[in-house]
Chain A
């Protein structure tokens, strides 16, 4: 059991440093269930990092309005884009002969977010002990985290779907557009539902008042 635990923790670090081998193992070698557990923990840690950095980051890099801070919304800001991304990517790659299953897309996406956790997390405290001249290091390491994540996303997608690099870039860009469509459809759906429910409730009120 201790062997498994240390493997569980070591593997994500191995993956972000050797993404090609790491993602290959993720797709073909490793247990789907443990992957899913690790993925959800990464998402959880990402949400925690976001919440903590908006609450505890140093004043020089983060002026936040306490009245607009909402931890539940922060969780949604992590979950919703990931969900949209996975759905959009899955819908596209199914049409484009991708080999990836939905679970694989989801886990590969989640694993790609590891740099977004391990780099900003120590900066929550470090940003409290830096001057304004030193904030460039803060912004630099955050950019590194973002670029690293994008690279992992790219490699992950390529490995999971067994695409060529150019095709991967194409699908990634198309997925972004598809996410836009998804968001639009969701808004449309919710506004229609709202209209219908208000229509029904108005009719109910009307009948209720007449009788």
Chain B
């Protein structure tokens, strides 16, 4: 009886072990595929993560009842969630409300008593008081309309001695700050963004990308004659690919640089002040091969310094927090819902994402999953300094995704504030945050030393006293012995 029981138990155990090992094997195989949603570990490996966003709806011109979109280039959402779509091929702007009902269509405006139209406009910006700025590329001008669609001003043929001889003003993207200064990204301009004052007069260039010189090309240039050199292409800084402005008036830009920083945050002087304290500098995918390298074409800044960038090469949208930690990725090229043909612009409406597909003339709506909501809220509370809430939310998000390494630092900081240093150290170690680990460690060390100081001090004093007494005793004994010998 007993032996049979023993036998069955062994059998069950063996089966269990076999089953477990099968499970482990398959887990390893799964880990090697590129997961649909991923995050980068400290070591630069793509690790699986739950999806933060999920496509829920597809909008196109027909379903909205405004006729099909033709090569729409830009999209903008105001604070009260009105959506402006720049339908470049049809030379019009389609305005929708928060529930995606078309409100109006702007396809012409009154210019000095005559109706005027756009010509393949590329960029669009809407200010807080609903003034519309359009980079009317085909007409080589920037058009400023007020909230009713009547013309306020037109910026064309700007003049300055900073321009080169054959300069042509071809605005592609435009943003406006709170002081009505207009920043224009123009085609073929390498000196940075063109800044115009509120009256539409050109004031200066800001934020030029740095020239990056290829050493081999430089060598060839050194070796060639002046005549040959004049035939060669000159070293020019890379052009920007897009820009956005946040509530504080900082301009976020993307560029098509091959090396270096492709995302920048420019202050009023045009200096890059983006924080890059994540495990890797924000630049999309961490691949080196030229076919797969990320090419960023749009950027969108949300609240709490969270920003997202759009990669045209693989149709992915990467989101980073203000510290430069990679939060999540979604999208891709393909034919299913949530995949694009030629994505051209992204925009955030609250926590939703709108992705504009230029090739198909469609807008894909993405909504957060439970995981995405938690992570967004966690980052926001952390940014606000609400560490209690951040602690709980980060805790919740690592329960859903244990690979989210930067979340551990958020938990560690809350623990540090609460005075639980040893526990905080553990979390900082988990997120490879040496600086904060050291902070927690110093406090912990102080605490421990303070606790054991009496014991340590007593021990030292006892040892010293003991040695002194021992020596004295030996001397005394030795003295007696010597005395005995002498006797």
Contacts and interface: CB of A to CB of B under 8 A. Distances in A.
Given A132-B438, A133-B438, 4 more contacts: A59-B429, A63-B434, A131-B445, A132-B434
Given A60-B434, A60-B437, A65-B43, A131 B442 contact: yes
Given A129-B445, A131-B441, A131-B442, A59 B434 contact: yes
Which range contains the number of A residues in contact with the other chain? under 10
B130 interface: no
Contacts of A129: 445
B435 interface: yes
A129 B449 CA distance: 12
Contact of A60 (B43, B438, B445): B438
B181 interface: no
Contacts of B435: 132
Nearest to B429: A59
A59 B445 CA distance: 15
Contacts of B434: 59-60, 63, 132
Nearest to B425: A59
21 contacts: A59-B429, A59-B434, A59-B437, A60-B434, A60-B437, A60-B438, A60-B441, A63-B42, A63-B432, A63-B434, A65-B43, A129-B445, A131-B438, A131-B441, A131-B442, A131-B445, A132-B434, A132-B435, A132-B437, A132-B438, A133-B438
Interface residues of B, number: 11
A60 B437 CA distance: 8
A157 to B, nearest CB: 37
Interface in A25-78: 59-60, 63, 65
A60 B429 CA distance: 9
Interface string B443-480: 00100000000000000000000000000000000000
A26 to B, nearest CB: 39
Contacts of B441: 60, 131
B362 to A, nearest CB: 43
Interface string B421-441: 000000001001011011001
Contacts of A133: 438
A63 B445 CA distance: 21
Interface centre among B429, B432, B435, B438 (most CB of A within 10 A): B438
B424 to A, nearest CB: 13
A208 B445 CA distance: 70
A65 B432 CA distance: 11
A133 B435 CA distance: 10
Nearest to B443: A131
Contacts of A59: 429, 434, 437
Interface string A120-131: 000000000101
Nearest to A133: B438
Nearest to B428: A59
Nearest to B448: A129
Contacts of A63: 42, 432, 434
Nearest to B436: A132
Contacts of A65: 43
Interface in A97-154: 129, 131-133
Q: Sorted from nearest, which 10 A-B pairs have the closest CB atoms?
A: A132-B438, A131-B438, A131-B442, A59-B429, A60-B434, A65-B43, A63-B432, A60-B438, A131-B441, A59-B437
Contacts of A132: 434-435, 437-438
